[in-house]
Amino acid sequence: MKKFRVIAVIMILALMLCSCGSAKTNGDAMEDDLTPTSSLTIDEEEAAVLNEKVPVVLYFGDEQKTKLIKEIRYVDIKEAKKGAETLASVMMKELIKGPKAEGLTPLIAEGTTLRSPVTINERVATVDFTKEFIDNHPGGKVFAELTVYSVVNTLTEMKEIERVKITINGKTTKNFKDNVTLSSDFPRNDAIVNKEVGLALPEEADLTPIEKIDDDVILETLDEEDPLE
Q: What is the mean pLDDT of residues 171-179?
A: 85
Contact 149, 192 (CB under 8 A): yes
> pLDDT for 100-147, tens place per residue?
988 899 999 999 999 999 999 999 999 999 999 999 999 899 999 999
Query: What pLDDT, on the 0 to 100 scale, is given for residue 117?
Result: 96
Q: Is residue 166 part of a domain?
A: yes
- Please give the pLDDT value at position 222: 42
Examine residue 145 and state whether it is found in any structural domain, yes or no. yes
Residue 201's pLDDT is: 66
Cβ proximity of 71 and 60 under 8 Å: yes
CA distances in angstroms from 187 to 15, 34, 57, 88, listed in the order given: 88, 59, 17, 16
- Domain assignment of residue 90, given as a range: 46-224
Q: Is residue 29 part of a domain?
A: no
Residue 30 lies in a domain: no
The total domain count for the chain is 1
Is 181 part of any domain?
Answer: yes
Mean pLDDT, the chain, whole residue set:
76
Q: Which of 27-31, 80-84, 143-147 has the lowest mean pLDDT?
A: 27-31
pLDDT at position 11 is 52
Contact call for residues 117 and 86 (beta carbons, < 8 A): yes
pLDDT of amino acid 52: 84
Max Cα separation, the chain? 117
In a domain? residue 176:
yes
User: What CA–CA distance (Å, rounded) separates 24 from 41?
Assistant: 27
CA–CA dist 122, 72 (Å, integer)? 27
Cα 155 to Cα 94: distance, rounded to the nearest angstrom: 12
pLDDT for the residue numbered 102 = 86
Q: How confident is the model at residue 161 (pLDDT cuts 50, 70, 90)?
A: very high
Domain assignment present for residue 23? The answer is no
Residue 51 has pLDDT above 90, yes or no: no
Is 10 inside a domain boundary? no
Summarised one tens digit per residue, pLDDT across range 62-71 is 999 999 999 9
pTM passes above 0.85: no
